[in-house]
Structure 1
Amino acid sequence: MNTAGHAAPPGTGGLDLIPFRGVRYVPERVRSLAAVTSPPYDVVVRPDGLHHLESADPHNIVRLILPQNGPETRNERAADTLARWLSEGVLAPDPEPGLYVYEQRSGDVLQRGVIGALRLSEAAEGIVLPHEEVMPHIVADRAALMRATAANLEPLLLTYRGNGTAEGLAAEGVAAEGPSGIGGNGGTSAVVERTVLRPPLLATTTEDGVSHRLWSVTDAADVDEIRSDLAHHQAVIADGHHRWATYLRLRAEHPSPGPWDFGLVLLVDTARYPLRVRAIHRLLHRLPLADALTALKAQSGAVRVRTVEGPLPDALEELAEAASEGNAFLLAGEGTGLTAGGGSGRFHLVDRLSPALLDTTVPSDRPRAWRALDAAVLHSTLLDHVWRIPDTPEHIAYIHDTAATVAKAERDGGTAVLMHPVHEDVVRDLAQQGVTMPRKSTSFGPKPATGLVLRSLVH
């Protein structure tokens, strides 16, 4: 769909979100909507999670976002698969352009936001704020897939801070289920809360117990209200730094105006619907746990290493307590005994790194808040200085799931480095200063399910 004809809304040079003609699964053509969805591509634990998703339904979206042919043909296979599913009616574009209200609910966690096509002008690079560095080979991989499919297959997750209040929405007659006493900006939040009172386009519950609902917003007045409101805001990338870098690269490659001037995003007002911030853990493929501990203990008292009894939740509580006082990491691997012991086991807590060690290993040309980050200390002090491990895929994997990281380290004979999450305010403050955190420092959630709505650049 060519989106070039949409003018920018009135505002102060903020976010420019436009409607698009979403491509969605036709429910009658798949086993269930839950069976064709997937977590974002970088959250899928491979190979086990990939195989599980592929077997859930022959049309699972993972066949598009993580095609499994050889490196020379996998993107072409994804493009052919997408074209076939469209021609067979497994996927179909909606009849008219719209913005989409998206809701996720799990227990007492409720998140709502707006999905749309965001303008990628040069100005947007100062309006959408990254907070993490990216890995060039992943950007190249995502760009190749996006070129081949001519589609945005999954939305980025962006956060912004609205100005309105829940009381203000109530005064407008809008029922609000969000946290009491706080709210998003009036325009967008008011439209969102009105929209969710209608029957949704789709509703499904994925196997993790999260329920998902999606509505289209096609009324011109509602669309204008959202666009005018968002035009006064900037956003922080919560999830999708590599896809954002990919959007910008592909925009530069294609003539403008055109559909490559926009990218698929989900915008969530975290004043109204706060996100959870979790850590992303490291798996050191070629470093046995025994060797990691030996190298740490050889640091002449500059690092404290002590054994912590499991099970894993108890060990993570010990990590949280240590992290409240300074940098701390939890190590596991062969000999931990978690997998074989049915949930028990021993871990190794690393903390109390000496100021002298940090001063000589962490770059001094960064803000104090950056130098205190666990990820900065891990990479500068432990990986580079103590263990001398290069940050390459052959040596380090980044895994979101804590138990999966430990299990893979035990099975493969490597070392799992478990991290404590960073507070959202630290992320936002650094992003607003233009300072990027080390790659894979945070995992915001809940993340949008992949496969509920796609954006084709040709339909």
Structure 2
Amino acid sequence: MDTPPEQEPQLVLRPFRALRLRESFVGAPVANRIFARPYRSAARRLQDWQRQRHVRIDGEPALYIHEYTSSGVSVRGIVGELDVTRAGSAVLPHEAVRMEQVAELAERMETLALNPAPILLMHRGTPALRTAVGLLTERKPDLSFTDPGGQHHRMWRVQDTDDVQLIGTLVAATRAVIADGHHRYAAALELAAQRPGTGWEQTLVMLVDQSDTPLQLGAIHRSVVCLTLETVAAAAILRGDDYRPHASRREALASLEHALVLHDGEKWASLHPRGLQLPVFALHEDLLPAWGVDDARVQHHHTAGQALARARDGVAILLPAPSFEQVATAARAGQPFPQKATSFQPKPHLGALMRDLRD
């Protein structure tokens, strides 16, 4: 018997009925209550909030163009249901995941029966896609508000059949990289395999064009307790790394674009690892073992200030931010970054657009 050929990976985006928190709840601490433990009570809490008109559901399915602005930075993306059974290599992770965390998250997602936020995907869109999005956003947005966290939102519903089909055609061949939501996407794949033929074969995503309104890419920094600069310097001699002491903070930070910057609370240094690896790969694959450091001693920090505040307990390690091209190249090559290596900002606040699996 002939077996049907496998389908080519495609980014298939479909309209959905959006669930939205009321504007005064989006991004506010109260928004977290609906997703809090016990997870099995989330459906009842959601129904209670709908009765109280704290949650609204749009009447008809649509794709959404969601533009949000935080601290002067605007990001715009297309939000829809992604068919994970068709995606395959059309969606590329760039960070490793912990499978025990994926299993735990899949169980929680199934209990919640909700996508509380879209997974952020990034790509380089085509001029034709940017033109189409530009035309669709020329009209007045269907929704415009500023949430309690200061994030301004504008949303356009895309419901016309021809417009939906055009967007679908223009994104189908793209290869997108996961910016935020690696564990959620891995959990979505698990649920799609476990629950074929159900709504779990789709998950909520937001596709951001890095050539239009890019997410800002930053590094996640490290600190290591009980590590000394003397240990780092000695290992550099043995390995052939370029270790340089610096007289001031400013002098050290001038090296941050291409090197690790180190601070122990008093002294500053920079380290250029040997070879052509990106510094974050060299740090985890080579340097930490050479320093006798295991993962339990490594702490992660989203800002340089947070890392430097821990320098008194050991050494703060500031990492250069990779470019989108470096991230995408690693993803296409199947060489994921270490966990917690990149930070994409700004992210949309929780509750702006959600998807109810019970709908």
Bin the TM-score by the shorter chain: 0.7 to 0.9
1:293 and 2:256 matched: no
Against the structure 1 CA distance between its residues 93 and 249, is the aligned structure 2 distance closer, same or farther, given a 3 Å change threshold? same
Against the structure 1 CA distance between its residues 347 and 274, is the aligned structure 2 distance closer, same or farther, given a 3 Å change threshold? farther
Given the alignment, which residue of 225, 235, 254 partners 1:318? Answer: 254
Q: CA deviation at 1:442?
A: 1.7
Aligned to 1:46: none
| Distance in 1 of aligned mates of 2:16 and 2:220 | 32
Q: CA deviation at 1:307?
A: 4.5
Given the alignment, which residue of 114, 121, 135 partners 1:158? Answer: 121
Please give the per-residue CA displacement for 1:380-433, whole angstroms capped at 9, x wherever unaligned: 22222313213x5xx4343323323333x268x354322110111111122222
| Distance in 1 of aligned mates of 2:228 and 2:41 | 41
Against the structure 1 CA distance between its residues 350 and 74, is the aligned structure 2 distance closer, same or farther, given a 3 Å change threshold? farther
- TM-score when normalising by structure 1: 0.69
1:104 and 2:68 matched: yes
Against the structure 1 CA distance between its residues 298 and 210, is the aligned structure 2 distance closer, same or farther, given a 3 Å change threshold? same
Q: CA deviation at 1:277?
A: 1.4
Give the SS at the match of 1:299.
helix
One-letter amino acid matched to 1:199: P
1:379 and 2:278 matched: no
Aligned to 1:167: none
Aligned to 2:143: 201
Aligned to 1:47: none
Q: CA deviation at 1:200?
A: 3.3
Aligned to 1:93: 57
Given the alignment, which residue of 328, 332, 338 partners 2:260? Answer: 328
One-letter amino acid matched to 2:337: M
Please give the per-residue CA displacement for 1:291-315, whole angstroms capped at 9, x wherever unaligned: 33242133263452524534xxx47
| Distance in 1 of aligned mates of 2:201 and 2:223 | 37
Given the alignment, which residue of 384, 398, 401 partners 2:300? Answer: 398
Aligned to 2:33: 63
Given the alignment, which residue of 219, 237, 241 partners 2:178? Answer: 237
Aligned to 2:271: 351
Please give the per-residue CA displacement for 1:152-184, whole angstroms capped at 9, x wherever unaligned: 1111111122221xxxxxxxxxxxxxxxxxxxx
| Distance in 2 of aligned mates of 1:108 and 1:88 | 33
Residues 75 and 213 in structure 2, CA contact (< 8 A), matched pair in contact too: yes
Against the structure 1 CA distance between its residues 441 and 87, is the aligned structure 2 distance closer, same or farther, given a 3 Å change threshold? same
Aligned to 2:245: 306
1:268 and 2:208 matched: yes
| Distance in 2 of aligned mates of 1:319 and 1:79 | 51
Residues 156 and 243 in structure 1, CA contact (< 8 A), matched pair in contact too: yes
Question: What stretches of structure 1 of length at least 5 have no aligned partner?
Answer: 1-10, 38-52, 68-72, 165-184, 337-345, 359-367
- TM-score when normalising by structure 2: 0.86
Q: CA deviation at 1:247?
A: 0.8
Residues 196 and 215 in structure 1, CA contact (< 8 A), matched pair in contact too: no
One-letter amino acid matched to 1:211: H
| Distance in 2 of aligned mates of 1:448 and 1:379 | 30
Task: For 1:153-232, list aligned pairs within 5 A.
Answer: 153-164=116-127, 185-186=128-129, 189-205=131-147, 207=149, 210-232=151-173
Q: CA deviation at 1:280?
A: 1.2
Please give the per-residue CA displacement for 1:427-454, whole angstroms capped at 9, x wherever unaligned: 1122222322222222223322222011
| Distance in 2 of aligned mates of 1:439 and 1:300 | 24
Root-mean-square deviation (Å): 2.8
| Distance in 1 of aligned mates of 2:267 and 2:154 | 40
1:422 and 2:342 matched: no
Aligned to 1:142: 105
Given the alignment, which residue of 127, 132, 139 partners 2:95? Answer: 132
More strand by share: 2
Against the structure 1 CA distance between its residues 270 and 94, is the aligned structure 2 distance closer, same or farther, given a 3 Å change threshold? same
Q: CA deviation at 1:233?
A: 1.7
Against the structure 1 CA distance between its residues 316 and 293, is the aligned structure 2 distance closer, same or farther, given a 3 Å change threshold? closer
One-letter amino acid matched to 2:33: R
Aligned to 2:79: 115
Residues 160 and 269 in structure 1, CA contact (< 8 A), matched pair in contact too: yes
Give the SS at the match of 2:228.
helix
State how many pairs are aligned.
350
Given the alignment, which residue of 330, 337, 355 partners 1:437? Answer: 337
Against the structure 1 CA distance between its residues 81 and 125, is the aligned structure 2 distance closer, same or farther, given a 3 Å change threshold? same
Against the structure 1 CA distance between its residues 108 and 400, is the aligned structure 2 distance closer, same or farther, given a 3 Å change threshold? same
Give the SS at the match of 1:435.
coil
| Distance in 1 of aligned mates of 2:83 and 2:47 | 26
One-letter amino acid matched to 1:252: A
Give the SS at the match of 1:266.
strand
Against the structure 1 CA distance between its residues 142 and 279, is the aligned structure 2 distance closer, same or farther, given a 3 Å change threshold? same
One-letter amino acid matched to 1:297: A
Please give the per-residue CA displacement for 1:92-111, whole angstroms capped at 9, x wherever unaligned: 21111111111123566332
Give the SS at the match of 2:154.
strand
| Distance in 2 of aligned mates of 1:74 and 1:13 | 37
Give the SS at the match of 2:284.
helix
Aligned to 1:42: none
| Distance in 1 of aligned mates of 2:236 and 2:166 | 62
Sequence identity (%): 32
